[in-house]
Structure 1
Amino acid sequence: MTELPQPPNDLRLRAVLPASPKIVYEALTDPAALRVWLTEHAEVELPDRYEFWGPSTPDGAQPHQRLLHADERTIRFAWTVDGVETTTRFDLAEDEDGTQVTLTQSDLPSFEEVLADTAGARGALQTFWSLAIANLADYLSDRALTPRCDFTSAELRAEVVIDAAPEAVFDSMVQPEQFHQWFGANVDIEPYVGGRFAMGGFDLDPGGARFVEFEPGRKATLRFADGETTSWELDGSDGKTRLTLIHSGFDPANPPYPGWAGWLGGISALRRYHELSRARSIWREVAAPGLPEGMLAINP
């Protein structure tokens, strides 16, 4: 089948999930399952209704979805976010490792608009769906889920337990080769106080963020050009690591939800990297409007 060109303002995420198309479809359409891996509230009555809402949904105070089509391999619905009607579509196909899921989301703002904080709730749709699909993969594997982004809170803090020693987890977060493997992004890192950290590399972002704290195996804090900080705190026992991720220094009236949800999606991948032997990335494609060339590097 010939694939149509992707419209310039559309997101396309393609992932392989560890279950048959029938099981994946059930997880996508069972409201009880949606309330576990997607968000707090969901109501589904096919072929007429597909709705979800809650603090973990952008612009999620009320349901804003309208079902357009559903069959055993496709779900398509209109979703009004910040007053703009978008279209979301799931397509399922068999894969040797389970099910290939392709998510398309129309009418996204550009990467530049997201960085400039002018995108509103639609600016978080890319990272919202990336984290949701990662949690769906873990739900299907009966694994603990990664905390979701609360789009109603100005406290950006999350804790996860990783089945690996703190030294190993810390190294995988500050060594470029390892970071690239689990996050799926090209990155340059200078692992010391005053060193730079640049997603996409120093050619794309010469200044980068700077490490203002760096204690191997225990803690690192990055300060960005706008004064915001991201801290990783690690505490270990019995060969496991409690990782606490904290983002601060932002305007509490305008929390940076797109970036925060992106970090949470990365933490999901970090957990898989350490906990699943010979784990492959679930991702086969990530294509988003205006994403700088060379920032992401998907190696399935």
Structure 2
Amino acid sequence: MSETLTLVVRADATIDKAFSALTDRAALTQWLSEFADVELPNRYRFWGRFIPDGDEPRQTLSSATDRSIRFRWDLDNTATDVSIALEPLDALATSIQVTQSGFDPASEGPLGQLQTFWALALANLVDLLEEREVTPRADLTSNELSAEVMIAAPVDAVFESLVSSEKVSAWFGAPLEIEPREGGRFGYGRIVEFAPERRMSVDFAGMGTVTWELEGSGGRTRLTISQSGFDPDRPPYAAWMGVLSGIAELRRFHELPDWRPLWPFEEASPS
């Protein structure tokens, strides 16, 4: 079934700064892709190991204005249409909307990776625009799924925000039931290892085990995340990009004194 995926974020940045991040090759390689080739109004292409089906550029520019980019993106023998549109919210804030249509998000392979791909990409775009460090991107050519981030918060606070149903539901953006003990529930997963303020592993049936390891120092926390125990010939890239986009929001949850959810709303509706 063909659907339209729509994701919207707010960035505390001017619309000119946001448009530059969308169209400057060097900026694109910081938040979106490994490689980029942009020459408006002729080309808008990106590819590399962070991009679904990214062994070569597969985008054809349709139109470009000073507030929007539209292109066709051929993925897994499917032609999809993408629009990235900017709207000023005020003099110093911009709404960024990505719409992609013409595909079934429940598909296997690259098409099924698009929702979490854009979630992580947009989270990193917002952090780049707000002059914050971006979250590691997913290498879609590797079956080793791991990443490391520093969070400007003490280890006890970070661990609490990983095991408290109330706090996880706040930054995750949806209710999540957690029983913080070995054998307890973690959403639809099961906690298989639980060492307070040091380590937690959760088994998600069919997608392997996600492990969080924490190390505190000087009021900051080094958080290492990994996913293992899956079929190495079919890495769960969509789920892994979802984990990383969640980590981007977790960092903001701890580090921004006026934190608000990154996603004002998120919608995927049938076309």
Mapping for residues 238-253 of structure 1, pairs under 5 Å: 238-253=218-233
Mapping for residues 28-47 of structure 1, pairs under 5 Å: 28-47=22-41
Match of 2:94 among 96, 99, 106: 99
Partner Cα separation in structure 2 for residue 155 and residue 108 of structure 1 = 28
Match of 1:169 among 153, 158, 164: 158
Q: Is the 8 A contact 2:63 2:71 kept in 1?
A: yes
Q: Is the 8 A contact 2:182 2:191 kept in 1?
A: yes
Mapping for residues 75-94 of structure 1, pairs under 5 Å: 75-94=69-88
Report deviation, 1:8: 5.8
* Number of equivalenced pairs: 269
Matched, 1:131 2:120: yes
Partner Cα separation in structure 2 for residue 120 and residue 77 of structure 1 = 21
Partner Cα separation in structure 2 for residue 264 and residue 26 of structure 1 = 25
Report deviation, 1:65: 0.2
Q: Is the 8 A contact 1:19 1:99 kept in 2?
A: yes
Match of 1:225 among 194, 197, 205: 205
- The one-letter code matched in structure 2 to 1:91 is A
- The one-letter code matched in structure 2 to 1:281 is P
Partner Cα separation in structure 2 for residue 263 and residue 165 of structure 1 = 21
% of aligned pairs identical? Answer: 48
- Tell me the equivalent position of 1:257: 237
Deviating beyond 6 angstroms after TM superposition, the runs of 4 or more aligned structure 1 residues are none
1:64-109, CA deviations, whole angstroms, 9 ceiling, x for partnerless residues?
Answer: 0000010011110000011111111011111136001111011342
In structure 2, the CA distance between the partners of 1:43 and 1:214, relative to structure 1 (3 Å rule), is same
1:34-86, CA deviations, whole angstroms, 9 ceiling, x for partnerless residues?
Answer: 01111110010000100000000000010000000100111100000111111
In structure 2, the CA distance between the partners of 1:191 and 1:264, relative to structure 1 (3 Å rule), is same
Q: Provide the secondary structure at the position in 2 that maps to 1:192.
A: coil
Partner Cα separation in structure 2 for residue 261 and residue 39 of structure 1 = 14
Q: Provide the secondary structure at the position in 1 that maps to 2:149.
A: strand
Match of 2:247 among 242, 249, 267: 267
Report deviation, 1:289: 5.3
Q: What's the Cα RMSD here?
A: 1.4
Normalising by structure 1, we get a TM-score of: 0.87
Q: Is the 8 A contact 2:2 2:103 kept in 1?
A: no
Q: Is the 8 A contact 1:109 1:289 kept in 2?
A: no
Unaligned runs of 5+ in 2: none
Report deviation, 1:282: 2.5
- Tell me the equivalent position of 1:26: 20
Q: Provide the secondary structure at the position in 1 that maps to 2:102.
A: coil
- Tell me the equivalent position of 1:151: 140
Normalising by structure 2, we get a TM-score of: 0.96
Task: Choose 93-102 or 60-69, whichever is displaced more.
Answer: 93-102
Report deviation, 1:141: 1.4
- Tell me the equivalent position of 2:177: 188
Partner Cα separation in structure 2 for residue 71 and residue 209 of structure 1 = 45
- The one-letter code matched in structure 2 to 1:169 is V
Q: Which has more strand, going by share of residues?
A: 2
- The one-letter code matched in structure 2 to 1:77 is F
